[in-house]
Amino acid sequence: MDKRLRTRYLILLMSLLLASCMQDHSDYQPIESPFKGMLLSSLDSRKVKSSSELYEKMQEVINKLDFYDVRKYTLAGGQELFTVRLGELSGVKGGTRRAVFQMNNGALTDFRIVAFEGETNIEPDELIIKFIGNEVHDFTGRASVYSLYQDILFFNEYEDGQVKINGRVTIGDTEKGGRTALCTAWYLVTTTYYSDGTTSETWEFLYTTCDCQETRIGRSLCGGGGGGGGSAPPPNTGIPTNPQPGEQTTVTLADGTVKVLQYNCYDWGCAWQTIMVTLPAVVVTAQRNTYYFLPPAPFPNYFVIGPDGLLYTYNANWNQWMGTISPVDPCVIARALEQNQALRGKMSELDSKTNLNYETGHTFKNNADGTSTYTPVNGVAGEASINININSPIDGFIHTHYAGLLSIFSPDDIRSIAQVLNGGNMVNPSSFMAGVVTASGTSYALVIDDVDQFRAFANNFLNDDVNFNLFASVYGSVYKITETNSVAQNEKSFLQMLNTLHSGLKLLKADGTWGDWDVLELDANNNVSAAECF
């Protein structure tokens, strides 16, 4: 293996752990000032007028925005990210500073100041993109993140991309007087990691918030030491009074939480519903009764579906949670498969052909009258592949694995799903189904329950030939998904791969009649669990 291939192999292995959520690292075009008005207007909801101190600090940030150096990126899920060069600020340390705006449909969902100290030849935007995406980098120096009001939120000191010192804002414990009946004391906790595996920790008092217990991510005005006087500002109330179905608006709470609302109408009436939440981690720490379902110290990319139905994902580099509309319930697709008599007949037909020496199958398109149109496809004798060559949208494909092939989906099968999606030939990602019937006596389906996650997964591992070849090699060498494994071992290893890489895919398994489908998952003990769909 040459040096270049070894390097890419190591990068892929790191990616398996980090599971980047970013996409679209395309070249940007520096723009002078077309977005100035929009970006400045987006900060209106963050303006705090009941404290001259806070207003002055925010205004200093606004005055130091250099709109002759604005860059735009597209994040996974369609959000837009703008970075703006910042001049020197009284409350921000670091020789290189960027203001980072995250926008959704023209509304501000997050704002941060990122400052770098150390290497002078860095490309700050490239590092910011890597931080947001939890990607590998080799930066040496300090990266700090501040709020709009120049309050430190957290920092990392790196050496060749490895964290050596970490600082985070948290509530003081009881011994330190962290919480009383009325007030909360906030500290900057700095942890140093030594080469022998030991650590040391120091606590630095920052400020106190009282009564409303909000944080200074959005800059609390609860009163008390360090927090300034005044009372907490109300949330942004700029909600349209006569909204139209599907209309969206953004609400910014005083603690820095940002919610994107959408006006939805149903048989029972219309209402504003939360479709996205940007939640600072310190808010989770401060409001445990509200956010009991989110762990106070999660690992990177930890995700959980909350009681509000949103999928919350933790970004360690950004120190925040992002709540989005939860993935489609795979049981909905499972029930549809169970009721599809034509599909059951086609799966049975394929089962009778697993004794051939080539793969065979069908693509299918669901029709408006409830029927489906099936188009046969065949592979080449002796080859473990089938050509899903389509030029119009489909609802799915099914195929065989003959004797000697995997008892579950292959890397090429997963890549075929990505090619259908990226080629614009997927009727509806939420209901798309890829199926396989194998000579091992197994039948499975793969469905997409998070299309944005799957797009990011495909961009990282499937869309580039070199990365795909490396992915295919670790399929067996790392995840132990092989032709000689038992069905049970391949199922478990396959599920581990889907989860580790945040693939956005769910695995379903059929019984021998294809009239009963289970959603397969790994339980808390890392064992395969079949959740029957009723």
Mean pLDDT of 102-117: 82
Instruction: State which of 307, 325, 343 marks the end of a domain.
Output: 325
User: Nearest to residue 167, comparing CAs of 184, 192, 150?
Assistant: 192
| 428 shares a domain with 403 | yes
Answer whether residue 36 is part of any domain.
Answer: no
| 361 shares a domain with 290 | no
Mean pLDDT of 449-470: 87
Which pLDDT value is given to residue 237? Answer: 44
Using 50, 70 and 90 to split pLDDT, how confident is the model at 404? very high
| 508 shares a domain with 375 | yes
Answer whether residue 46 is part of any domain.
Answer: no
Whether the Cβ atoms of residue 373 and residue 365 lie closer than 8 Å to each other: yes
The per-residue pLDDT for range 271-330, each reduced to its tens digit, is: 888 888 888 877 887 787 788 778 776 655 565 667 676 777 777 667 788 887 755 567
Answer whether residue 170 is part of any domain.
Answer: no
Using 50, 70 and 90 to split pLDDT, how confident is the model at 151? confident
The residue length of the chain stands at: 534
> To which H or E segment does residue 411 belong?
helix 411-422
Show Cβ contacts of residue 102 under 8 Å, excluding neighbours closer than 6 positions.
Answer: 75, 79, 80, 81, 108, 109, 110, 111, 278
| 338 shares a domain with 314 | no
The per-residue pLDDT for range 384-396, each reduced to its tens digit, is: 888 887 788 898 9
| 391 shares a domain with 294 | no
Look at the block and give the residue holding tokens 């106070």.
296
Mean pLDDT computed over every residue of the chain: 78
List the domain range (segments joined by +) for residue 321: 248-325
What 3-state class would DSSP assign to 375?
strand
Instruction: State which of 325, 346, 362 marks the end of a domain.
Output: 325
Q: Which residues of 314-336 are buried (b: 16+ CB within 10 A; e: fewer)?
A: bbbbbbbbbbbebbbebbebbee
Which pLDDT value is given to residue 231? Answer: 29
Phi, psi of 320 (to 5 degrees): -155, 165
Which pLDDT value is given to residue 415? Answer: 94
Mean pLDDT of 503-514: 92
Is the pLDDT at 28 greater than 80, yes or no?
A: no
Q: What is the number of alpha carbons within 13 Å of residue 462 lying toward its C-beta?
A: 22
Q: In the chain, how many domains are there?
A: 2
DSSP tag of 232:
P
Alpha helices for 19-158 (secondary structure H): 36-42, 52-63, 124-132
How many Å apart are CA 370 and CA 400, to the nearest integer?
25
Q: What is the number of alpha carbons within 13 Å of residue 286 lying toward its C-beta?
A: 27
Which pLDDT value is given to residue 345? Answer: 92
Answer whether residue 45 is part of any domain.
Answer: no
Burial level of 79, CB count in 10 A (0-12/13-18/19+)?
buried
| 484 shares a domain with 376 | yes
| 461 shares a domain with 341 | yes
Phi, psi of 332 (to 5 degrees): -60, -45
> To which H or E segment does residue 491 belong?
helix 487-500
Mean pLDDT of 512-522: 89
Which pLDDT value is given to residue 43? Answer: 82
| 513 shares a domain with 463 | yes
Mean pLDDT of 28-55: 68
> To which H or E segment does residue 333 belong?
helix 330-339
Instruction: State which of 287, 308, 325 marks the end of a domain.
Output: 325
Pairwise pLDDT comparison (375 vs 225), residue with the higher score: 375
CB count, 10 Å around CB of 20?
A: 23
Mean pLDDT of 68-97: 85
The per-residue pLDDT for range 219-240, each reduced to its tens digit, is: 333 333 333 322 233 334 457 7
Handedness of CA 287, 293, 295, 298 (dihedral sign): negative
What 3-state class would DSSP assign to 156?
strand
Which pLDDT value is given to residue 133? Answer: 65
How many Å apart are CA 402 and CA 355, to the nearest integer?
6
DSSP conformation letters of 334-371: HHHHHH-HHHHHHHHHHHTTTTSSS-EEEEEEE-TTS-
- Best-predicted range by mean pLDDT (66-70, 371-375, 402-406): 402-406
How many Å apart are CA 211 and CA 223, to the nearest integer?
8
Answer whether residue 270 is part of any domain.
Answer: yes
Answer whether residue 167 is part of any domain.
Answer: no
| 482 shares a domain with 514 | yes
Answer whether residue 317 is part of any domain.
Answer: yes
| 417 shares a domain with 401 | yes
Using 50, 70 and 90 to split pLDDT, how confident is the model at 511? very high
Using 50, 70 and 90 to split pLDDT, how confident is the model at 333? confident
| 375 shares a domain with 306 | no
Mean pLDDT of 432-459: 92
Is the pLDDT at 486 greater than 90, yes or no?
A: yes
| 455 shares a domain with 386 | yes
How many Å apart are CA 65 and CA 260, to the nearest integer?
25
Burial level of 87, CB count in 10 A (0-12/13-18/19+)?
exposed
Answer whether residue 242 is part of any domain.
Answer: no
**39's torsion region: left (phi>0), alpha (psi -120 to 50) or beta?**
alpha
How many Å apart are CA 365 and CA 395, to the nearest integer?
5
